[in-house]
Structure formats: C-alpha cells, structure tokens
Amino acid sequence: MTDIPAPNRESETAAANIPRPMRVRESGKKSFRQRLIPWLFLLVPLVLLITFTYVPVANMFWYSLTSWNGLSKTKKVVGLANYTEFFTRPDLYRVFFVSLYYLAASVLQIALALYFATLLSFNTKFKNLFKGIIFFPYLINGVAISFVFLFFFQPGGTLDTVLGFFGMAKGSAPLWLGNPDIVNFSLAGTSVWRYMGLNFVLFLGAIQSIPGGIYEAAELDGASRWQQFRYLIAPSIKPIISLSFILAVSGSLAVFEIPFIMLDGANGSTTFVIQTVKLAFENNKVGLASAMAVILLLIVLLVTWVQRKLVPEEEVDLS
C-alpha cells in the first residue's frame, strides 16, 4: 500500500469522511416516528427472511435431534444420537474426498477468472464479446448445462469428436463419465466452465473500480503489465479474491446440482449433499440427514472463521 501516491490517498479519505458528521447529527434528533420508519421498510424483507430462512433452519436443528422419517406425525427425540452416528460411520464422511476435486478445480477457476478479468480490463480487441462469452455459461440454467454436458461426454459425443479432429484415434478416448478415475475431473471441469463467469465478473468489476490515473502513473514509471498486476491490481482486489476463496471452499463442500443431475451420484461422484438428500428422501432418515446438514453448516462457518483469522479483512484505501 505504501507505493500509492500520497495526494490520491488524502483526497479519498476526505471524500469518505464528509457524510459521517452529518449522519451523527441526524440520529441525535430522531423522533419515535423517524426511528420507526426504517423498520417499517424492513418489515417485509425481515418477515420473508425469518419465514424462509431462520424458521426452516431452526426446524432443521430440531429434526436433527429426532429420528423422524419425514412424514410421521410423531417425532421421537433421540438427543445427539444422529451426530454420534455420523462421526462413527466412515462411509458417511468419506464423501468429503470428492469435494477435494471441486476445491482444486475452484482454485483453477479463480486463477483463470483472474487472468481473463485482468486481460479484458486492458484494451483488447472484441473486449465486450469476450466478456459476454465468458459470463454467458453462468446465466444458463444448471439443469440445461448438465444435460448439455451429458451429451458432450457421451462415448462418440462432442468431446470425442473434437478430439478426433486433432488426430485422436476413434475409440481410444476414455469414458469421461464411465471411468471412476476420470468422472470427478469431468464433473469438476463442467463446474469450472459454469461458475468461472461469476468470479470473472466479480474480479472485472473490482478491477474497473481502480482509478485509471494510477495505471498512467505506473506506465510513466515504466511498470510492465505483470508489475501492474502484481503491485496494483492484485492488492486492490484482495477482498474480492478472499471472498472468492470462501465461496469456493463452501461451494466445493456443497456441490450438488451437476453430479446429481448428470449422474445421480453414481460411479463415485456422490458428494456430501447428494448423500444427505438420498438419506432423507430415499431412506426416510430425515433426522440423520438434518444432522448432516447442520454439520455441513458448522464446517462452512468454521472455514469462513479460519479464513478471516488467516487473512484479516483490511481496508483497501486504493479504490
């Protein structure tokens, strides 16, 4: 941060400070009615939030303490037995290994997104076309993507045909989904294709909010493109990068759509959430499944907390 030109920083801080005293003055004078009004505006979103988020989550905690089958009118309380069962059954938590494929893929995904975002923030030919192409997959419905890729990976499907153009002998391509050693790579690849657009847009937005004057200054000082990225862009979009990593970790723990629709979790592609869904709705073990959902929630919270500790959120005073 030290290599940022001083005048710029001052002007930024000054701008940020202007509204603050005004706000303080206002709140001191608030009448009851004035204080009520924001709550009235918040009423609808709060009711929606509580009804559709907090009540179901509270219910889930409650179910996780019972042996409910999902339908019976009576729920037998079993205490923490569901949690004990989860931690004493390796077959239940072994599926976390599958998440590692997606975690690795999301690192690749973030790197690619960062690369393209940087590239397209400079002057490039057909800039907007490429932006569209990269972001487009994120807009497609996940079900449609899964079906498209099902055909893409079929023996003799699109991928095999394309590889054929490059001289791959017919019939020598592996079974992209049929081979249990490859299936998770194929699925994680699909996931990268789909979600890279989101990371890309986040990064691009952050990069474009960097004032253009800084680039000019850097260019005058003779900084190369790499140096511009390393000392200008990367530090200023650090919060977004760290957010992307949190999303990547929680996302790869909770992978569901693509392996579920494409393979129904078959052939070693079962993820934690697929397994939870199957326990709840195929084996009628809603209690155990709720406990697993609670555990997943706690793990994601833990990961976020650890990440916050390791990479503290700092004020970026550049942009």
Confirm or reject binding of residue 277 to another protein (CB under 8 A): no
> Which of 41, 122, 126, 281 touches another protein (CB under 8 A)?
281
Q: Does 18 bind another protein (CB under 8 A)?
A: no
Sign of CA dihedral 83, 84, 89, 94: positive
- Measured CA to CA, the distance from residue 151 to residue 84 in angstroms comes to 42
142 binds another protein (CB under 8 A): no
Shortest CB 269 distance to another protein, Å: 9
Binding mask 67-86 for another protein (x = CB under 8 A): --xxxxx-------------
Angle ∠(54,243,236) on CA atoms, nearest 5: 145
The DSSP secondary-structure symbol of 283 reads S
Contact region with another protein (CB under 8 A), list: 65-73, 108-116, 123-131, 309-317: 65-73
291 lies in the site for another protein, by CB under 8 A: no
Backbone φ/ψ region at 168: left (φ over 0), alpha (ψ -120 to 50), beta: beta
SS3 of 28, please? helix
Count other C-beta atoms under 10 Å from residue 112's C-beta.
15
- C-alpha distances (whole Å) from 153 to each of 115, 266, 277 are 27, 15, 25
Restricting to residues 147-176, which ones interact with another protein according to CB under 8 A? 150-151, 153-155, 157, 175
In the complex, minimum distance from the CB of residue 63 to another protein, in angstroms, rounded to a whole number: 12
Q: How far is the CB of 193 from another protein (least distance, A)?
A: 18
Select 221 or 282, whichever has its Cβ closest to another protein: 282
Pick from 178, 185, 218, 235: which binds another protein (CB under 8 A)? 178
Joined together, the tokens standing for residue 101 give 């494929």
CA distance 141 to 38: 36
Contact with another protein (CB under 8 A) among 8, 242, 250, 284? 284
CB atoms within 10 A of CB 201: 16
The residues of the shown chain that bind another protein, judged by CB under 8 A, are 69-73, 150-151, 153-155, 157, 175, 177-180, 183, 263-268, 278-279, 281-285
